[in-house]
Structure formats: C-alpha cells, structure tokens
Amino acid sequence: MPSQALRADLLMLLTAMIWGSAFVAQRMGMDNIGPFLYTGLRFVLASVALLPVLALLQRRAHQPPAPINRNLLLGGMSMGVVLALGINLQQVGLLFTSVTNSGFITGLYVIVVPILCLFIGQRSGLGIWLGASLAVVGMFLLSVGDDFSVAPGDWLQLTGAFVWGVHVLLVGFFASRHDPLRLALIQFITCAVISLFLALCFESATLDGVIEAAPAILYGGLLGVAVGFTLQVVAQQHAIASHAAIILSLEAVFAAIAGALLLDEVLAPGGYLGCALMFAGMLIAQLWPKPATISDTPANAGAARH
C-alpha cells in the first residue's frame, strides 16, 4: 500500500538522521574514555534495551519463545565478531579524522557490497563500477592533502567500509534463516564482550570519565544502535529495496551536517566536491539497473552498523 511505503521511507529517513548524528556522539564520547570502552558500554546498553522489545513482541505473538539453537548462536556470534571489527575501526578512526570524512567514507559500503559479491560468483553491473569510480575520485578530493598524504583515520574508515560490506553479506545470509532481532541481540552482546575485553587490555578508565561520557553513551547506545536498528527492521518490512539503500545512505549527509553544526567542522571547497562525488557514486550504484542476483543485497545494510 502507498501509505505503508511512505511510512517506511519516513522511518528510514529518521534512521539515517539518527545514524548520521551518532557519528558526533561517537566522536564526543572519546573526549573522556577510550574508543573500545565507549563501544563496549554502548553495546551493553543496546543489548539491555533490546531485551524488553523482544519480550513484548513475544507476548504479542502469544507463543513461547523458540530455543536458541546452535545455528542461531553461530550466526549471531559471527555477525558480532565482524561488527566488533567494523565498529572499532570506525571508532578509532574518528580519533584521526573528521565526522564528515568518517560518514562519507563509511557510506561506501553500498558500493563495496556488490564488489564483494564478485568473490561469491555474483556479477556487478555497470552502475557499480561507475559509482565506484566517482567515489574513488571523491575520496581523493575529500581525504588527500596538499602533500598527497591521507589521514590515518581515513584509511581506517576505508578498511571499515569493506568490513561493513562483509557484515552486510552475513546479515543477508543469517537474517533470512533466523529471527533478526534475536540475531541482533546476540551480535550486540558479542560486540560488547569483545570491545570491553579490548578496553581492559589497552585502555585505562575512571568512573568520572565514564560519567562525563554518559550522554554520548546513552545517545550512541539507545538511539544509534537500539532504536536505529529497530526502526530499520520495522521500516524494511514495507520498503522497496532500492529506496531502503538510498535513504539509509543519507546518513553520510546527516553526519556532515551534524559535524558542521555541533563540532564546527569546515571542509575546503575540494572536500565538499569530494563529498558530492562520493554521494553521487552511492546513488548511481543503487539506481542503475543491476543484475537480479545482487539487486537487493545493499538493502540489508544497516543491521546494527552504528
């Protein structure tokens, strides 16, 4: 129904706004605590927040919860390990680059996913290669300085974009076989455990620092992860796949707006042109007619990415 499609598009737009602004919370959270501890705490919070949602949905279904079988546990933990790698690359990268750069470079996952599909025998269309070419030029303008050097944080974000691509493929594989919210809970817990272990090994923290970072942890955990993921799942029940990928990729634009408004980030003219080219590449990659075997893959994106 048209009203359901419109509702889905609006929910995904809200999700993109939450995810984009969450980059600011991720950056500000590290003013007082380390990146691994920030990630671990916000995923603990997201896990706790998701439990009553699962309980409510179970009561509405009027049936006892199905047991957590080996395949569900394996799928959720596999997604959680990759999620932990991607989110911590993103988090550490934010120490060495801007929110704007991080948002746009992370958004390249919408191009990375179909490219990765080549390795599992799925053909990519002309639009992917055209979009990827524009994105490469855009990243050059956005990230390469006068001395032709690239900020370490941008390299971490680019590596993270490929990790997110792997995560999207895992989500697409396991979500079609198991309850997505239960998968999300398992991957949240897995990510939290890995991140807290890394924090214990490599960081030191104080209670005062955690208290100072509490607003960023609350926003990043409750809105960026728990609410953002839940909205995305609800919205995509009635969303057109191409619409989903395009609207969710707007998080890069909202990250740039949030960085400018809240952190006073300013880009050189070449940087703004780079952002425009990267965003154009993302849109072309999604709108260009593609082989049916990969047409819906990017729509699975966003399953607990932020």
Name the band, by pLDDT with cuts 50, 70 and 90, for residue 33.
very high
**What percentage of the chain carries pLDDT values higher than 90?**
22
pLDDT digits (tens, 9 = 90+) for 140-193: 777 666 655 677 888 898 898 888 888 877 877 787 777 778 888 899 999 999
pLDDT of residue 215: 92
Residue 297 scores a pLDDT above 60: no
pLDDT digits (tens, 9 = 90+) for 59-85: 776 666 667 788 889 988 998 999 999
Name the band, by pLDDT with cuts 50, 70 and 90, for residue 207.
very high
Regarding pTM above 0.85, the answer is no
Average pLDDT over residues 219-241: 74
Name the band, by pLDDT with cuts 50, 70 and 90, for residue 235.
low
* Dihedral sign for Cα atoms in the order 234, 235, 236, 238: positive
* Nearest partner of 38 among 228, 261, 205, 284, judged by Cα: 205
Q: Which amino acid is at 56?
A: L
pLDDT of residue 306: 60
Tokens of 200: 């214990």
Mean pLDDT, rounded, of the chain = 79
Average pLDDT over residues 194-202: 96
- Within a 13 Å sphere around the CA of 284, how many CA atoms are in the beta-carbon half? 17
